[in-house]
Structure 1
Amino acid sequence: VRVVEGLSGRVPMVMELILRFDYGAVSPWVRCLDGQWSAVAGPDAAWLHSAVDIDHRDGRTNARFDVEAGQQVPFVLTYTASHLPTPKPVEGLAALEDTERFWSDWIGRCDYRGEWGDPVRRSLVTLKALTYAPTGGIVAAATTSLPEQLGGSRNWDYRYCWLRDATFTLQALLGTGYVDEAKAWREWLLRAVAGDPADLRIMYGLDGSRRIPEYTLDWLGGYEGSVPVRVGNAAAGQYQLDVWGEVLDGLHLAREAGLAPSQDAWDLQRALLDFLEGHWDDPDNGLWEMRGARQRFVHSKVMAWAGVDRAVRAVERHGLDGPVARWRELRDRIHHEVCERGYDTARGTFTQFYGSQGLDAALLLIPRVGFLPWHDKRVVGTVEAVQRELSEHGLLLRYRPTADGGVDGLPGGEGAFLLCSFWLADALHGIGREQQARELFERLLALRNDLGLLSEEYDTRAGRQLGNTPQAFSHVGLVNTARHLGGSPVTTRA
């Protein structure tokens, strides 16, 4: 629904609509049926309805009309499958009123009462808007192929559900009063990952589908010349060990928060633990979906530890059944190896992977998942090293792409990753540098656009957002950091 509203005087207006399907490749047939304009091609149909006169010529649908002070002229565009009957016209102003009422009622349920109420509520609305209501799945972003570097090739399709979002998203929803949404997300998770735990995917379609082939739309020039434009995501087939830990952590968080007990959830956790027990030491592609050689990423091992730890806690706190002695021994073994092989004593920091010279912003999550306490000297040293070596004008990169000879196997660079900067604010607060944390958080809030939205990354030199938008991860980071700085628990105690 779009409404043209007259504020003063009498203004001549022009509406022009050029419809294309299949990412711009297909020009539809356009004709007037039952008082609406229909555009049809293959499986797709769109219907345009308005009270003003509309015509179509030379591939363009046009309307010319005047609007006076106090007058409202709605236009309604409806999408359907082409084989379905003509949809009933939607009354635009009534639909707008219903929509406003829904969102006002929904955000009114938010129980966050901290000092950053407006940005937190805006971020929660964004997360809700990125949720597919029929299934509860939350997409990473609403767009594809908005570049991480203008003119570069790091252009990905984010219109899918990433499992690793589960823990952070559940924290944000449960911590602000949205239990129903958290339940829907948990149920989506259980349906999506059902089956052999060895076949766990890192991402799924909104309906839980597993096959997400990647291909390019070579007839499109890309955003500001950034090609290729991609549909699908080849990373869906990667082996990313941390995902097993993320799912286990997310299900444990739901249980700790008091969501209705689910035997299916515990059965799934045990199946995932069985897989993790035999594979925790595997090299993998890491949470940043490296397209280079697999490595033993420290973050992946830490999340494997976290997955086992959550199973131990489930037995100890909730009386669930499982070989807890064996799990405790496995937890200790993973912890010992990470501290021995993933920590550089000479530099006083954990590294991106075993034997690496590079660092990784995901190392900031080590205390957050309870692997080590915030004031452990290894944590403090890692926070300082990450801030020092990965900062670009005060905001964090995920990692240095050129480290260790080009760890991600891709050309070019990228902007500062906004979620990582929220992690840094959390980490600074955690090690007692509260003023630095607050200053960084306020700076991140200032990067939001006029609608309060954040993309995935930020170009500190050009002063503009980069990457797909709006980005769920960035808004989840905003909510959780606001809660963390306000004293709410968003970490697991070591």
Structure 2
Amino acid sequence: MSSLELGLIGNCGIGALVDRRGRIVWGCVPAFDGDPAFCALLSPAIDGGDFTIELADCVATEQHYLENTAVLRTVLRDSKGGAIEIVDFAPRWKQYDRFYRPIMMIRSVRPLAGEPRIRIRLRPLADYGARVPEITWGSNHLRYVLGDFTLRLNTDAPIRMVREEVPFLLDRELHFILGPDETFTRSVGDYARESLEKTIDYWRSWVRALSIPLEWQDAVIRSAITLKLCQYDETGAIVAAMTTSIPEAAHTQRNWDYRYCWLRDAAFVVRALNRLGATRTMEEYLRYVSNLIPEDGHLQPLYGIGLERELHESEVPSLGGYRGMGPVRRGNLAWVQPQHDVYGSVVLASTQLFFDRRLNLPSGIAHFQRLERLGERAHALFEQPDAGLWEFRGRVEVHTYSAVMCWAACDRLAKIAVQLQLVERGRLWRERADRLHARISELAFDANRGSFVEGTQSGRMDAVLLLLADLGFVRADDPRFAATVDAVGRELARGDGMLRYVAPDDFGVPETSFTICTFWYIDALAAVGRVDEARELFERVLARRNHLGLLSEDMSLEGSEMWGNFPQTYSHVGLINAAMRLSRPWQDAI
């Protein structure tokens, strides 16, 4: 059983994590990268950082999402036959030709059986858990002055009972609307019920438009919704995960802040959702990227969700860490690293724009010329050392994946130029792509091993080599790729998990499997014809998701313990891609 037994609610503006007892234990305001007013997940020194609807003498819990939505339902039962239902969501629907997605969470609680007694404990903290906010109240609301942002609770529950955390008999449905400090002029109950109905309708309509595989539909739908929840509507940025500093393994220093937009990770998300037909995410993300591309084409690996370029990293002493395993970090030093694969990532994410006639985002010569700036960088840097996909902090070298992604930038630019009937530009980029391909094939293939290797100098194995066929660098039936898949499986597989690499890095030897690497392996097995083996492994990995179908970044090598930031977009991308590859065709069902 996973210790990250959490559910995600959100509306593409804010997000929050809810545990099995219906406690909101993580949530940042006013956006994904903001101050975590709800930080109980990371052990604040001050008691609090949660929003709990506590059932007296609770002995059992149940939890699930309402079908095809981001609405979470939790049932708590006491030892005397009493039971309550908690429904949590963040409002989201289309209104006035835009999306209504306020900085707001809505909670409803109602009795299901017996005479349940509850206590409301709303205890946000400020300044990363360092301070109890000033609290004021009126006849039907409470205000929590966090600093630059003030939370306001509007409720039809007795305010004094909430303010003083007094237990009381729950004999009717109550509603809690937690949002910005604005006067509320409507019935709290009516607004909560109407918002729930509209939010359910929105998510079910969104899911209905997906082109899902025949098999594993529930898993794919949950992953797709999770990916969508990680996009910040205001700019189009996609965060790698909702959290910071959940360690990659027990008592490690591998604790990072993932509440930012890695261009690589976001490109993976875009490609996965494109395969499901959810192309709006790509359009919104590419608007974000268009605001980042400078005249010289230089790109950082990651940016803030508000286009911030500097993400200075520091430790947060007021938070003890996940299960007390610090440090907790704010910001991420990877923004200063050279990671040359980023150029190919952006070009790949943009390519569909030039071929898919359904899309509305401009995709003409001007946009192509912006992408050419990235191609020029890729062509210049493909054989230069960088920190690589795994963001090594203590070494740089020429990484095969980075070089291949530079080739991919040139290759796709050649194809786009042909589509735009730019003959000379197409010829230029094709010549460059072919030259890079030949050079990389020479440097990155180890004849003694009979396979591709991680770096052009190291000779080590790396799980990302499993993507060479998916990227089009080699054909899936190329013997070199089959040998690479064999070598990766032989050297990096550990039971049902896959390590990124085995050589020690800045923090020692990796101790957990990296979930997307396991999905890459599954996908590669299927690509080389080992489909039955891939399907069996896929089923076993699905069984290791948490009770709501969510995945973190890493898994223990034994059991189903999840580690790393949560929920991790990478992991859900891998699930979708593997399911799409492995599923039987729809013709089998009709």
TM over 0.5: yes
Contact 1:21 1:44 in 2 (8 A): no
Pairing of 1:158-177 with structure 2 (within 5 A): 158-177=258-277
Quick one: which of 188, 213, 237 aligns to 1:137?
A: 237
Instruction: State the alpha-carbon separation in 1 of the partners of residues 316 and 183 from structure 2.
Output: 31
Q: What does residue 300 of structure 2 align with?
A: 201
Q: What does residue 492 of structure 1 align with?
A: none
Structure 1 residues 396 and 61, CA gap change in structure 2 (3 angstroms): farther
Quick one: which of 165, 170, 186 aligns to 1:67?
A: 170
Q: What does residue 223 of structure 2 align with?
A: 123
Matched, 1:256 2:361: no
Deviations 1:28-51 (A, max 9, x none): 111213531111142121112222
Instruction: State the alpha-carbon separation in 2 of the partners of residues 21 and 444 from structure 1.
Output: 38
Q: What does residue 31 of structure 1 align with?
A: 136
TM-score normalized by the length of structure 2: 0.77
Aligned sequence identity (%): 38
Pairing of 1:84-233 with structure 2 (within 5 A): 85-86=182-183, 90=188, 91-198=191-298, 200-233=299-332
Matched, 1:413 2:413: no
Instruction: State the alpha-carbon separation in 2 of the partners of residues 262 and 317 from structure 1.
Output: 11
Instruction: State the alpha-carbon separation in 2 of the partners of residues 36 and 249 from structure 1.
Output: 49
Contact 2:240 2:262 in 1 (8 A): yes
The amino acid that maps onto 1:25 is A
Quick one: which of 162, 178, 182 aligns to 1:77?
A: 178
Instruction: State the alpha-carbon separation in 2 of the partners of residues 188 and 166 from structure 1.
Output: 11
Q: Which runs of 5+ in 1 are unaligned?
A: 489-494
Q: What does residue 451 of structure 1 align with?
A: 548
Matched, 1:483 2:580: yes
- Please state whether the residue corresponding to 2:116 is helix, strand or coil: strand
Contact 2:161 2:167 in 1 (8 A): no
Q: Which moved more, 1:384-393 or 1:352-361?
A: 352-361
More helix by share: 1
Deviations 1:230-265 (A, max 9, x none): 111100111100111111111113323333452342
Q: Which moved more, 1:269-278 or 1:234-243?
A: 269-278
Structure 1 residues 140 and 166, CA gap change in structure 2 (3 angstroms): closer
**Structure 1 residue 13: Cα displacement:** 1.2
Instruction: State the alpha-carbon separation in 2 of the partners of residues 230 and 61 from structure 1.
Output: 33
Instruction: State the alpha-carbon separation in 2 of the partners of residues 86 and 41 from structure 1.
Output: 18
TM-score normalized by the length of structure 1: 0.91
Deviations 1:110-133 (A, max 9, x none): 122421211111111111111112
- Please state whether the residue corresponding to 1:49 is helix, strand or coil: strand
Structure 1 residues 212 and 393, CA gap change in structure 2 (3 angstroms): same
Structure 1 residues 153 and 23, CA gap change in structure 2 (3 angstroms): same
Matched, 1:300 2:402: yes
- Please state whether the residue corresponding to 1:353 is helix, strand or coil: coil
Q: What does residue 526 of structure 2 align with?
A: 429
Contact 2:378 2:407 in 1 (8 A): no
Q: Which runs of 5+ in 2 are unaligned?
A: 1-105, 586-590
- Please state whether the residue corresponding to 1:31 is helix, strand or coil: strand
- Please state whether the residue corresponding to 1:7 is helix, strand or coil: strand
The amino acid that maps onto 1:295 is E
Pairing of 1:346-385 with structure 2 (within 5 A): 346-385=448-487
Deviations 1:421-464 (A, max 9, x none): 11111100111111111112112211111111111111122421
**Structure 1 residue 23: Cα displacement:** 1.3
Structure 1 residues 298 and 88, CA gap change in structure 2 (3 angstroms): farther
Q: Which moved more, 1:432-441 or 1:39-48?
A: 39-48
Contact 1:10 1:67 in 2 (8 A): yes
The amino acid that maps onto 2:138 is L
Matched, 1:439 2:536: yes
**Structure 1 residue 297: Cα displacement:** 0.3
**Structure 1 residue 194: Cα displacement:** 4.3
Deviations 1:322-343 (A, max 9, x none): 5333333322222222222211
Instruction: State the alpha-carbon separation in 1 of the partners of residues 491 and 265 from structure 2.
Output: 26
